[in-house]
Chains A and B, each alone.
Chain A
Amino acid sequence: MREVAAKTIIDTTAALCQKANYHLPDDVLHAISDATRRERSYLGRKALEMISQNAEIAAQGNRPICQDCGAATFFVELGSEVRVVGMTLDEALNAGTRKGYLEGYLRTSMVYDPLLRNNSGDNTPPSVHIVSTPGDAIRIRFMPKGAGSDNVSKIAMLSPSDGIEGIKETVIKCVDEAGAKPCPPITVGIGIGGTVDTCVALAKKALFRRLGSEHNDLVYRNLEKNLYDAVNRLGIGPLGFGGTVTALAVHIEARPCHIASLPVAVNLQCHAFRRAEAVI
């Protein structure tokens, strides 16, 4: 059994928090400059140009991309042949988040109690999803999830007979109602299937897929294409200023579900599509 010191997890996690908040990934930068060429509205193009300019300023390392440095969100694949020594994996991710946010001058946006609303002061605790995988590696994928886009997410427990039409209606309505709030151009993460809890996690997981990549399954590939065209016909445009680019992509994750259920979750992602990953 391979052993990894908790400190390695902490340092890696802290570095991911900072990297993601100061440097937009290449696929996102490409998607934004593509969108700038496609956008037909004047204010929309101007918004996209400012988004690229903002990314350049942030990459200099003095100010994070967005003041909402997000709820720290981790999707971890933990090999069954490796164990963390010194503390639990959850504790190490917690400590790494604290270190990353405090040392990186990132905003601490978590309140310790949802009703009392006292700031935890170090952006902990993170939201953590761990799955076990074969092998002796630990893959940590990180996303700082802003509240502006998370707040306009939806979960619908559809009836199986609602089918693809019901799914389309749910997604389009969600994007239309969200308007400018989630800071478009957005990426639409969709979970289909599972149970109410796993469906929402699928929608978030779908966001980790690289922009420009295609779904493996033809049915979902077509549905993604269809929904992408539909949401871009809404006219919301960059930052909601009106325009032809409302979404950069639509990503779907599906899984088996109960004979009586058709859960659909929609998790929107803002243009500040920050994510980073590391394999230990």
Chain B
Amino acid sequence: MKKVSKPRNLTTPLSQDVIASLRAGDECLITGEIIGARDQAHRLMFEMISRGEELPFELSGSIIYYVGPTQARPGQIIGSAGPTTSSRMDFCTPLLLSMGLKGMIGKGNRSEDVRRAIVKHKAVYFAAPGGLGALLGGCVVSSTVIYGEELGPEAIRLLSVEDMPVVVVNDILGGDMYEDGKLLYRKVL
């Protein structure tokens, strides 16, 4: 990929028009509120939805960041806060997308079910740079635990981020940055 265009600035919540304009491989900087939730949070959300209970945040239009940060030092907003592997959340993602979730931020490829649901519900999956928790922690300007304090790093958080660097992985047309990127440089028979 020989792109040198400047990253796009995105502000959450993302409008349907903005989501529709995003393409696999686009570099973006996200600013605004996102929800931090990973493994245990997804198991809990799945159970709440099964029981017909309300979720602790407004799912419709939201973006979930798969993150379990390190503990903040005194006076710090958050510690290291990079993405975790998204595929562990695949079991729950098509359901959340059907209920209005509009975006996910994580790392690694998604299942076929998730990719199909992204197209069907016109959503977007971004990759944040994995293993760069120190850098990404610096993009978080506020962090509040909104559910499951006892889960420690796995609690559900309302995060406010500024210029968080991400790349579009899956877009509404079925594009896949991981597949495209790999095929460009693959030299395997």
- On whether A42 and B178 interact (CB within 8 A), knowing A107-B80, A181-B107, the answer reads no
Residues of chain A in range 56-77 having any CB-CB distance to chain B below 8 Å: 57-58, 62-69
Pairwise interchain contact A241-B133, C-beta atoms closer than 8 A: no
Residues of B near A272 (CB, < 8 A) are 131
Pairwise interchain contact B1-A43, C-beta atoms closer than 8 A: yes
Residues of A near B107 (CB, < 8 A) are 148, 180-181, 183, 239-240
Pairwise interchain contact B135-A107, C-beta atoms closer than 8 A: no
Pairwise interchain contact B181-A243, C-beta atoms closer than 8 A: yes
In the assembled complex, A19 has its CB within 8 A of some CB on chain B: no
- Shortest beta-carbon distance, B14 to chain A, in Å? 21
In the assembled complex, A132 has its CB within 8 A of some CB on chain B: no
- Shortest beta-carbon distance, A88 to chain B, in Å? 28
* A67, B81: Cα distance in complex, Å: 5
CB closest residue in chain A, given B68 = A67
CB closest residue in chain A, given B152 = A119
A240: which of B152, B178, B188 is its contact (CB, 8 Å)?
Answer: B178
Pairwise interchain contact A41-B181, C-beta atoms closer than 8 A: yes
Residues of A near B165 (CB, < 8 A) are 50
Residues of B near A234 (CB, < 8 A) are 182, 186, 188
In the assembled complex, A53 has its CB within 8 A of some CB on chain B: yes
22 contacts between A and B (CB under 8 A): A41-B184, A50-B132, A54-B129, A58-B80, A62-B134, A66-B82, A67-B82, A67-B84, A107-B68, A107-B69, A107-B71, A107-B80, A119-B151, A147-B85, A179-B178, A181-B109, A183-B107, A183-B130, A234-B182, A236-B182, A239-B107, A239-B127
A-contact 0/1 string along B31-52, CB 8 Å cutoff = 0000000001000000000000
The 8 closest A-B pairs by CB, nearest first: A242-B181, A235-B186, A235-B185, A67-B133, A181-B108, A67-B80, A63-B134, A183-B130
Residues of A within 8 A of B (CB): 40-44, 46-47, 50-51, 53-55, 57-58, 62-69, 105-109, 117, 119, 121, 146-148, 151, 179-181, 183, 233-237, 239-244, 270-272
A-contact 0/1 string along B74-87, CB 8 Å cutoff = 00100111101101
Pairwise interchain contact B80-A64, C-beta atoms closer than 8 A: yes
B185: which of A58, A68, A243 is its contact (CB, 8 Å)?
Answer: A243
- Shortest beta-carbon distance, B71 to chain A, in Å? 5
Residues of B near A42 (CB, < 8 A) are 1-4
Residues of A near B69 (CB, < 8 A) are 67, 107
In the assembled complex, B153 has its CB within 8 A of some CB on chain A: yes
Residues of B near A121 (CB, < 8 A) are 152
In the assembled complex, B67 has its CB within 8 A of some CB on chain A: yes
Pairwise interchain contact A240-B2, C-beta atoms closer than 8 A: no
- Shortest beta-carbon distance, A67 to chain B, in Å? 4
A-contact 0/1 string along B54-78, CB 8 Å cutoff = 0000000000000111111100100
* A134, B165: Cα distance in complex, Å: 51
* A108, B71: Cα distance in complex, Å: 9
Residues of A near B130 (CB, < 8 A) are 148, 180, 183, 239, 270
In the assembled complex, B183 has its CB within 8 A of some CB on chain A: yes
- Shortest beta-carbon distance, A233 to chain B, in Å? 4
Residues of A near B1 (CB, < 8 A) are 41-43, 241-242
In the assembled complex, B158 has its CB within 8 A of some CB on chain A: no
In the assembled complex, B177 has its CB within 8 A of some CB on chain A: yes
Pairwise interchain contact B108-A63, C-beta atoms closer than 8 A: no
Residues of B near A240 (CB, < 8 A) are 107-109, 127, 178, 181-182
Pairwise interchain contact A235-B134, C-beta atoms closer than 8 A: no
- Shortest beta-carbon distance, A132 to chain B, in Å? 35
In the assembled complex, B6 has its CB within 8 A of some CB on chain A: no
B178: which of A67, A180, A183, A270 is its contact (CB, 8 Å)?
Answer: A180
A51: which of B79, B132, B186 is its contact (CB, 8 Å)?
Answer: B132
CB closest residue in chain B, given A108 = B152
Pairwise interchain contact B188-A58, C-beta atoms closer than 8 A: no
Pairwise interchain contact A233-B187, C-beta atoms closer than 8 A: yes
CB closest residue in chain B, given A41 = B1
* A119, B152: Cα distance in complex, Å: 8
* A212, B165: Cα distance in complex, Å: 31
Pairwise interchain contact B182-A148, C-beta atoms closer than 8 A: no
- Shortest beta-carbon distance, B115 to chain A, in Å? 14
CB closest residue in chain B, given A121 = B152
